[in-house]
């Protein structure tokens, strides 16, 4: 039977597939438009997201909203989610075993949305989705293609809060993303 968005969401909200289920307050399924042409994928919920059950609502999320505004987008035109849907304790990187336990949900979200462009937010998403040896400092802003989907990675907004000197590079990467959207799915801007 074809997956439906709501069935997938309900299954995800009840998941106990890894030990993050023991410590989470809320599962964070994602936010935005499930018919979007563009998906943005972070690594995992932080403390604020875990409290509220919503993706990218803390400080990094506010910066992500500003980054979207730079390319004339808002959350109604994209879908935002994470590699793991539950908060890793102390905001540590999600373990491989946790990523593997959770990745099926992202695959199924992607199969339903069928985005034209995927933007990885940070190293963890890029290593999981683009290539396992992805080097974010060297390869941010470069474009890759997988199964007809255009893919790139930019610095995670939390990394930009910690390292503001990386913002000019990210501005250029964002402009590159805008250009790619105009090329691949211009209807987003019409």
Question: What per-residue string of b and e applies to 79-104 under the rule 16 or more CB within 10 Å gives b?
Answer: bbbbbbbbbbeeeebbeeebbebbee
| Per-residue contact flags (x/-) with ligand URA for residues 56 to 75, judged by CB under 6 A | x-x-xx--------------
8-16, 54-62, 106-114, 165-173 -> range binding ligand URA (CB under 6 A):
54-62
Nearer to ligand URA, 93 or 180 (CB): 93
Rounded Cα distance between 26 and 31, Å, is: 14
Residues forming beta bridges with residue 32, ordered by sequence position: 79
Considering the rule CB under 6 A, would residue 134 count as an interface residue with ligand URA?
Answer: no
Task: Pick one of 8, 12, 38, 55: the residue that binds ligand URA (CB under 6 A).
Answer: 55
Q: Are strands 117-121 and 149-154 parallel, antiparallel or unpaired?
A: parallel
The residue with its CB nearest to ligand URA is 42
Which H, E and C letters describe 49-81, residue by residue?
HHHHCCCCCCHHHHHHHHHHHHCCCCHHHEEEE
Nearer to ligand URA, 56 or 79 (CB): 56
Nearer to ligand URA, 23 or 179 (CB): 23
Q: Write out the residues near ligand URA by the rule CB under 6 A.
A: 28, 42-46, 49, 55-56, 58, 60-61, 82, 158
């Amino acid at each position: 039977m074809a997956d439906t968005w709501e069935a997938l969401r309900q299954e995800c909200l009840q998941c106990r597939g890894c030990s993050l289920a023991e410590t989470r307050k809320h599962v964070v399924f994602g936010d935005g438009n499930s018919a979007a042409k563009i998906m943005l994928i972070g690594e995992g919920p932080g403390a604020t997201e875990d409290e509220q059950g919503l993706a990218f609502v803390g400080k990094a999320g506010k910066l992500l909203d500003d980054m979207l505004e730079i390319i004339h987008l808002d959350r109604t035109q994209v879908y935002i989610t994470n590699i793991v849907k539950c908060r890793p304790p102390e905001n540590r990187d999600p373990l491989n075993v946790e990523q593997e336990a959770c990745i099926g949900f992202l695959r199924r979200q992607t199969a339903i949305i069928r985005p034209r462009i995927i933007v990885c937010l940070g190293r963890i998403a890029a290593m999981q989705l683009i290539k396992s040896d992805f080097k974010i400092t060297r390869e941010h802003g470069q474009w890759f293609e997988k199964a007809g989907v255009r893919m790139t990675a930019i610095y995670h907004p939390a990394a930009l809060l910690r390292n503001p000197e990386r913002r000019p590079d990210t501005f250029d990467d964002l402009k590159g993303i805008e250009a790619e959207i105009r090329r691949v799915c211009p209807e987003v801007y019409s």
